[in-house]
Amino acid sequence: MGYAGRQDCLALSADILGDMPLTDQAAQLPEECSFRSPAPMSMPELIMLLEDALRGRYGGIVRAKGILETGGGYVRFDLADGLYSITGADGVSTEPQCVFIGRQLRPAEIAARLADPAAFI
């Protein structure tokens, strides 16, 4: 499973900004962590992941979305404004992937959950 997170974004920002100091507003920008090819999970596992994300288990997640493989095919999930939705995504021409956006994210915990979802039930 691939992961790209805050360190990559900060390195890119440093390349673009050079020696320019970050303003207070720039320091408050949300973090992002992305995952490619997460392990397949059941619908109950996905629902529990999204519920845990809403309750702050993985940091202050304000937005998450992705495509995951379940026993019944592929699904698309969206989380925003304290709500989430899960819809079918069969026929999608992309590999399973997801992104979480927020503040004080816990990417290692999210990665562990996506690598072995059954261990968290």
User: What are 84-121's pLDDT values in tens digits?
Assistant: 999 998 777 778 999 999 999 999 999 999 999 887 76
Residue 11 has pLDDT above 60, yes or no: no
> Which token pair is 82?
């304290």
Q: CA 7, CA 13: separation in Å to the nearest integer?
A: 10
Over its C-alpha atoms, the chain yields an Rg (Å, rounded) of 15
Q: Tokens 């999930």 sit at which residue?
A: 77
pLDDT in tens, 15-64: 444 454 555 655 567 899 999 999 999 999 999 999 999 999 999 999 99
Q: What pLDDT score does 9 carry?
A: 42
Q: Under 8 Å CB-to-CB from 87, ≥6 apart: which residues?
A: 75, 76, 77
| 62-85 residue pLDDT tens | 999 999 998 888 999 999 999 999
pLDDT at 3: 45
- Using alpha carbons only, give the angle 9, 10, 15 rounded to the nearest 5 degrees: 100
